[in-house]
């Protein structure tokens, strides 16, 4: 194995991220050059990695009547949305703000589904006026309000009801959503009655059924179990005279952060379609809402090492990216690999916690990592394409990072670094 191949071998993430000539690259772009040119912290995404993640789903669903709706909460930057809109994806949205983002990139509104337990009347009006494809409704009370809002606008809202299949996705409790006791969806036992209620409401047209059991799922079994539970319901709902035109299986497929081994999207769908066919539902229209698995491994966050701080109990490597840029470790104890952009020879290195400048003990990006770096070096936090920038905050009045989209030889700045003035723009001082 050549040196760069050896260095690259252990990297989680898309094959577009690799060492070449002693420097980490994303596609054709040297991440050392990008960090110097654009400053840090800096998110860099590979368009090819996103499209190849999408291609795995397209391959798995080939020949079927299927719509892929990118769950844009994973990364809703306009330049990222453009990639998926141009590739023919629809979008799974959860707010009026996300709807405006789809409109901004010229996405197809008929391919938009609106999920979430707390849609406001104003958001319902906005989505009805935009003529979106479907509302994924999460409670009986929401059905009533949606019908009322639609009737007042002289419209009929297309609806799917999110059912809670009560299966354990075996993932972090904060990101498992399909168990009893989660706020999401309606209980399996109540679903038929709620469908009958929906069918009786004049402002609604029942079109589908949906479920979403959690995120970062690395096993096929919970998906098969959820599918069985949903198909049982489809049978009873249709037997009650309510046709179900589409089935939406949500998102949730995991990615490799460390030593995770999720099934490939095409393999997952091969197994799911076999079950669907065996149960006689292979010709139904399918919808899916993947987020993380389309973008997570397509992005990195570059940061500069500011200081090394050896200590009696722990060593710290202080970088210029923090929990406001990369909130997943603080929120879910999540693991992101952290690697030097230009690995050094001959430096002994140390085991350290990689932390940011934010004034919180919870501001850590990696714990007990072995790193051979010096101040001024750049590191790359891997698998940072999903749920990083979209969850970033301005805590400590830190501006949000800049973002680049790499497309072969081209590098596009898709978000400028946020200034303090940007952050203060909507604030007002009290007049004296």
d(CA 161, CA 206): 8
Give the CA distances from residue 30 to residues 16, 19, 37, 101, in Å, rounded to whole numbers and listed in that order. 12, 9, 11, 30
> Shortest distance, CB of residue 113 to ligand LLP, whole angstroms?
9
| Residues numbered 104-123 forming contacts with ligand LLP, rule: CB under 6 A | 115
User: With respect to ligand LLP, which residue has the nearer C-beta, 195 or 387?
Assistant: 387
* Spatial separation of the C-alpha atoms in residues 213 and 382, rounded to whole Å: 25
Beta strands in 199-333 (DSSP E): 204-210, 246-248, 285-288, 299-309, 316-319
Nearer to ligand LLP by C-beta: 327 or 356?
A: 327
- d(Cα 24, Cα 415) in Å, to the nearest integer? 22
Residues numbered 9 to 68 that lie near ligand LLP (CB under 6 A) are none
CA distance 414 to 76: 11
* Spatial distance between the Cα atoms of 375 and 47, rounded to a whole number of angstroms: 31
Asked if 300 contacts 44 with a C-beta cutoff of 8 angstroms, the reply is yes
Near ligand LLP by CB under 6 A: residue from 46, 66, 92, 403: 92
Among 76, 215, 324, 383, binds ligand LLP (CB under 6 A): 215
Q: Which stretch of DSSP H or E encloses residue 270?
A: helix 265-278
What pairs with residue 248 in β-bridges? 210, 287
Rounded least distance, CB 336 to ligand LLP, Å: 10
Sign of CA dihedral 28, 32, 37, 42: positive
Judged by CB under 6 A, the residue of 284, 292, 336, 398 near ligand LLP is 292
Q: Find the shortest distance in angstroms from Cβ 66 to ligand LLP.
A: 15
Using the CB atoms, write b or e for 200-236: b if 16+ within 10 Å.
ebebbebbbbbbbbbbbbbebebbbbbbebbbebbee
Q: Which stretch binds ligand LLP (CB under 6 A): 42-50, 228-236, 261-269, 289-297?
A: 289-297
Applying the rule CB under 6 A, the residues between 330 and 349 that interact with ligand LLP are 332
Number of residues that bind ligand LLP (CB under 6 A): 21
Name which of 41 and 340 has its Cβ closer to ligand LLP.
41
Q: Which is nearer to ligand LLP, 29 or 124 (CB)?
A: 124
Q: Does 74 bind ligand LLP (CB under 6 A)?
A: yes
- In terms of C-beta density within 10 A (0-12 exposed, 13-18 middle, 19 or more buried), how is residue 78 classed? middle
- Quick check: 95 binds ligand LLP (CB under 6 A)? no
75 binds ligand LLP (CB under 6 A): no
Closest separation in Å from C-beta 337 to ligand LLP:
15
Known catalytic residues are 359
Among 263, 291, 343, 356, binds ligand LLP (CB under 6 A): 291
Q: Smallest distance from the beta carbon of 322 to ligand LLP, in angstroms?
A: 16
> Is the peptide bond between 41 and the residue preceding it cis, with omega within 30 degrees of 0?
yes
Give whichever of 158 and 340 is closer to ligand LLP, judged by the CB atom.
Answer: 158
What track of x and - describes contact with ligand LLP for positions 147 through 176 (by CB under 6 A)? ----------------------------x-
* Smallest distance from ligand LLP to CB 352, Å: 24
Residues that bind ligand LLP (CB under 6 A): 71, 74, 92, 115, 175, 177, 212, 215-216, 250-253, 289-293, 328, 332, 387
């Amino acid at each position: 194995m050549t040196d760069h191949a050896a260095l690259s071998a252990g990297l989680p993430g898309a094959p577009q991220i690799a060492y070449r000539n002693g420097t980490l690259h994303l596609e054709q772009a040297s991440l050392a050059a990008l960090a110097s040119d654009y400053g840090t912290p800096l998110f860099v995404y590979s368009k090819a990695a996103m499209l190849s993640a999408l291609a795995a789903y397209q391959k798995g669903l080939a020949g079927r009547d299927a719509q892929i709706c990118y769950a844009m909460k994973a990364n809703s930057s306009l330049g990222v949305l453009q990639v998926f809109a141009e590739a023919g994806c629809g979008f799974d949205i959860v707010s009026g703000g996300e709807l405006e983002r789809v409109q901004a990139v010229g996405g197809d509104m008929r391919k938009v589904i609106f999920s979430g337990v707390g849609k406001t009347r104003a958001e319902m009006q906005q989505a009805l006026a935009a003529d979106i494809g479907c509302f994924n409704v999460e409670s009986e009370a929401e059905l009533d309000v949606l019908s009322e809002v639609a009737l007042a606008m002289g419209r009929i809202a297309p609806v799917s009801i999110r059912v809670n299949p009560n299966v354990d996705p075996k993932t972090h409790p904060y990101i498992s959503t399909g168990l009893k006791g989660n706020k999401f969806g309606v209980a399996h036992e109540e679903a038929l009655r709620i469908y009958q209620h929906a069918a009786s409401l004049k402002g609604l047209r029942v079109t589908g059924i949906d479920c979403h059991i959690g995120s970062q799922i690395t096993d096929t079994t919970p998906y098969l179990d959820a599918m069985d539970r949903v198909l049982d319901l489809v049978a009873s709902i249709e037997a009650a005279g309510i046709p179900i035109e589409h089935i939406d299986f949500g998102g949730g497929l995991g990615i490799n952060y460390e030593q995770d081994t999720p099934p490939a999207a095409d393999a997952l769908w091969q197994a799911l379609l076999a079950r669907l066919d065996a149960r006689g539902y292979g010709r139904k229209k399918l919808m899916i809402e993947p987020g993380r698995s389309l973008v997570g491994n397509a992005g990195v966050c570059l940061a500069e090492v500011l200081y090394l701080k050896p200590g009696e109990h722990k060593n710290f490597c202080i970088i210029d990216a923090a929990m406001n840029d990369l909130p997943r470790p603080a929120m879910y104890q999540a693991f992101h690999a952290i690697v030097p952009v230009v690995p050094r020879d001959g430096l002994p290195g140390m085991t350290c916690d990689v932390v940011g400048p934010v004034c919180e003990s919870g501001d850590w990006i990696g714990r007990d990592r072995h790193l051979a770096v010096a101040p001024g070096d750049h590191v790359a936090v891997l698998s940072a394409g999903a749920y990083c920038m979209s969850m970033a905050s301005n805590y400590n009045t830190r501006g949000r990072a800049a973002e680049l989209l790499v497309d072969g030889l081209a590098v596009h700045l898709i978000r400028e670094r946020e200034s303090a003035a940007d952050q203060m723009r909507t604030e007002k001082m009290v007049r004296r």
